[in-house]
């Protein structure tokens, strides 16, 4: 077989060899670009996995911490109520009552007529008893209390928030691997 020469090519290189070299060059360039893309992809995946690992560690740390804040309260609180009061007080009485008096009285004597007499009374009366004093009342209360305080609040992160985030991270890691 004789090789055909392109009459337009002064060096005697065939058009077929030019196309072959061009395609071979493009093939090498394509392989080099694909290798570069795969290398860049593996670096990006490695960085993404490292970021996901960092996020997982921070999420685990967040789960062991709690959310802390302080709430300031400065508010007027109106209070209006009627308090029923029903109580029986027992009062013990243990005393001696001194009695010193004169009782004026009179009586009728048959020949003498009406006679007035004064009867002196001197006595000490001991008193020992328990006296029950019932008290029933309704006490109205109406006031406005100015409530000023700071309340510290500390809340642990609930699993209902952390579990879905951990699941999303797991799915992302599975997708990257």
Report pLDDT for 138.
92
Give CA–CA dist 55/176, Å, rounded: 15
Report pLDDT for 4.
53
Report pLDDT for 11.
56
For the whole model, what pTM was predicted? Answer: 0.38
pLDDT at 42 over 90: no
Q: Region 140-166: what's the mean pLDDT?
A: 86
Residue that has been written with the tokens 């300031």 in this structure: 72
Q: How confident is the model at residue 51 (pLDDT cuts 50, 70, 90)?
A: confident
Question: How does the average pLDDT of the chain come out, rounded?
Answer: 85
The residues with which 128 forms a beta bridge, in sequence order, are 94
Q: How confident is the model at residue 1 (pLDDT cuts 50, 70, 90)?
A: very low
pLDDT at 73 over 70: yes
pLDDT tens figures, 6-20: 555 555 568 888 899
Q: Is 98 helix (H, G, I), strand (E, B) or coil?
A: strand
Relative to beta strand 113-156, strand 66-109 is antiparallel
pLDDT at 114 over 80: yes
pLDDT at 169 over 90: no
**Phi, then psi, of 157 in degrees rounded to 5:** -65, 125
Q: How confident is the model at residue 127 (pLDDT cuts 50, 70, 90)?
A: confident
Q: Region 105-124: what's the mean pLDDT?
A: 86
Q: How confident is the model at residue 150 (pLDDT cuts 50, 70, 90)?
A: very high
């Amino acid at each position: 077989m004789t090789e055909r020469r392109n009459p337009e090519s002064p060096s005697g290189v065939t058009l077929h060899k030019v196309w072959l070299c061009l395609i071979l060059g493009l093939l090498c360039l394509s392989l080099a670009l694909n290798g570069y893309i795969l290398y860049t992809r593996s670096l990006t995946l490695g960085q993404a996995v490292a970021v996901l690992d960092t996020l997982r560690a921070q999420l685990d740390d967040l789960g062991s911490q709690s959310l802390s804040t302080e709430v300031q309260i400065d508010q007027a609180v109106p209070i209006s109520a009627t308090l029923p009061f029903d109580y029986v007080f027992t009062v013990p009485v243990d005393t001696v009552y001194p009695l010193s008096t004169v009782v004026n009285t009179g009586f009728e004597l048959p020949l003498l007529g009406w006679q007035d007499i004064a009867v002196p009374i001197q006595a000490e009366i001991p008193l020992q008893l328990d006296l029950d004093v019932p008290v029933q009342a309704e006490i109205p209360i109406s006031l406005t209390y100015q409530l000023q305080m700071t309340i510290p609040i500390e809340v642990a992160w609930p699993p209902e928030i952390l579990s879905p985030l951990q699941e999303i991270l797991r799915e992302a890691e599975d997708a990257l691997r």
